[in-house]
Amino acid sequence: MAAHLVIVDRRADFPWRKDNLQVVTARDYIAKPDAGRGRDQRVINLSRTYEYLGTGYYVSLLGEARGERVIPTVKTILDLRQRALTRTMLAEVEEALVRKMKRLSDRPEASFHLLVFFGRTMDRRFADIAREIFDLFRCPILKVQVRLKQGWTLHAVEPLSIDELTEEQKAAFEAALDAYTRASWREPAARAQARWTLAILHNPKEELPPSSPRALQRFIKAGEALGIEAELIEKKDFARLAEYDALFIREGTAIDNHTYRFAKKAEAEGMPVIDDPNSILKCTNKVYLAELLKANRVPTPKTVILDKRGLATLDQEIPYPIVLKIPDGSFSRGVFKVINRSELEATAESLFEDSDVILAQEFMYTEFDWRVGVLNRQPFYVCQYLMAKKHWQIVKHGGNGRAETGSSRTVLVDDAPKEVVEVAVKAAGLIGDGLYGVDVKQNERGVFVIEINDNPSLDLGVEDACLKDELYRTIMREFLRRLESRAGR
């Protein structure tokens, strides 16, 4: 069975013979649902037009309904029809274009058209621009109008058909098609059993990554055994994201950085993604979490959502020492302990410079914090994180930018206190069915949820101390379940 199914209005529209491509007319594809199809079929719709409710439109519509992977999707077809929408979507790419024009020594002196074939262009000066445009509008052939009018702009993007190309352009299209079908199918002989591809987003320069390089390799190995070909990607690979079947984020997440954009893009592409954007949105804001836990009667240390007006009476509600937190801190960053009124006012004043609302919480000393790992509403590891040496937090951030962490002990879920596990699973369930690390304190008063992390540490010798490789297989099996569920298996 050919890896890709190519749909054309007329067979003469596709003059090439490709062993990995099967050519079917649009009429046959629509009228004969099983024509040329196999499991996991990928469809390239090369209809002459994608006019609304026309034949090309119905090819993509029916392909999606049949569970096939079609390019362009119906959403892309409709997006390209709305000029105002495309202009909005192109805003960031246009900024990149302007920067590039300033750097080019041989930049064009007038407006021009840029042809994009599966993310590639004949004008190598604009290779990265073409790739970004294709990532926004995944259509086989795009014509991009670049205008010079009080500055460079991406005026419009529209689909083209093969019959509109010159012979030279057809040769470039064929080369791009070959590259695209090889890259998107990716079945190296050594891993012929791989059915799915997984992108693992990481930052090799991150000071406190959630998974070390050695742990990331364990994920890759675990995926390989399940037919998932995992590959490490970085921030610079955003334009390639849609080439994969799923996304696993293994770097610190935040709403205002690229990790959230990656998650949103993966979700828009219909890809299983951990962390999903909804989980990032909820977990990265401690104010939201505090209100969510309170509303659902999950025990927490006494907490006050604080604005400047509430500062005057705070120490009447919470005795010293008081813990102050910025809404979007992580790894103990943005968390401060104050022991008197002057420290309270000085620290709060500094925090209010960045946020109109902060969090105040009673200080609850324990020798360690429990961390319960929850995946798809099920606990799968439990860890004790001890406080950093001579410090009241797990992570101690030094003035030199370096961080010191306390030691850890890991136990099996069945060996952990039942009440710790139960409250953690309940708290994680309020966020969703993703991957979470729930921090819990335990003392003579009971158990208290401190926070829910959407991107918990999963590292070699720590969280995997009991489960070993099974921890990594657990994550990969969840991706496999989601991938197969999406495919309707």
The last residue of a domain, from among 44, 78, 112: 78
DSSP characters for 92-127?
HHHHHHHHHHHH-TT--SS-EEEEEETTB-S-GGGH
For residues 18-40, average pLDDT: 72
pLDDT given at position 333:
58
Tell whether 324 and 412 lie within a shared domain.
Answer: yes
Q: Is residue 484 part of a domain?
A: no
Phi, psi of 210 (to 5 degrees): -70, -20
Q: Is residue 489 part of a domain?
A: no
Q: Is residue 482 part of a domain?
A: no
Q: Is residue 254 part of a domain?
A: yes
Q: What is the pLDDT of residues 204-247, one digit of tens each?
A: 989 889 999 999 999 999 999 999 999 999 998 898 898 899 99
Q: What is the average pLDDT score of the chain?
A: 84
Is the pLDDT at 58 greater than 60, yes or no? yes
Q: What is the CA radius of gyration of the chain?
A: 26
Q: What is the CATH number of the domain that holds 275?
A: 3.40.50.2300
Q: What is the CATH number of the domain that holds 404?
A: 3.30.470.20
Q: Is residue 346 part of a domain?
A: yes
Q: Would you place residue 443 in the very low, low, confident or very high pLDDT band (cuts 50, 70, 90)? A: very high
Tell whether 146 and 199 lie within a shared domain.
Answer: no
Tell whether 218 and 325 lie within a shared domain.
Answer: no
For residue 306, CA distances in Å to 140, 296, 356, 429 come to: 52, 20, 9, 26
Cα–Cα distance for residue pair 32/26, rounded to 1 Å = 10
Q: Would you place residue 402 in the very low, low, confident or very high pLDDT band (cuts 50, 70, 90)? A: low
Q: Is residue 461 part of a domain?
A: yes
Cα–Cα distance for residue pair 126/122, rounded to 1 Å = 9
Angle at which helices 74-81 and 55-65 cross, to 10°: 140
Domain count, the chain: 4
Q: Kindly state the percentage of the chain with pLDDT values over 90.
A: 36
62's CB contacts (< 8 A; 6+ apart) are 29, 30, 33
- Give the residue, 358 or 118, on which the prediction is more confident: 118
- Specify the range with the lowest mean pLDDT, choosing from 119-133, 177-191, 376-390: 177-191
| Range of the structural domain that residue 324 is part of | 283-474
pTM over 0.85: no
Q: Is residue 335 part of a domain?
A: yes
Q: Is residue 130 part of a domain?
A: yes
For residues 36-41, average pLDDT: 55
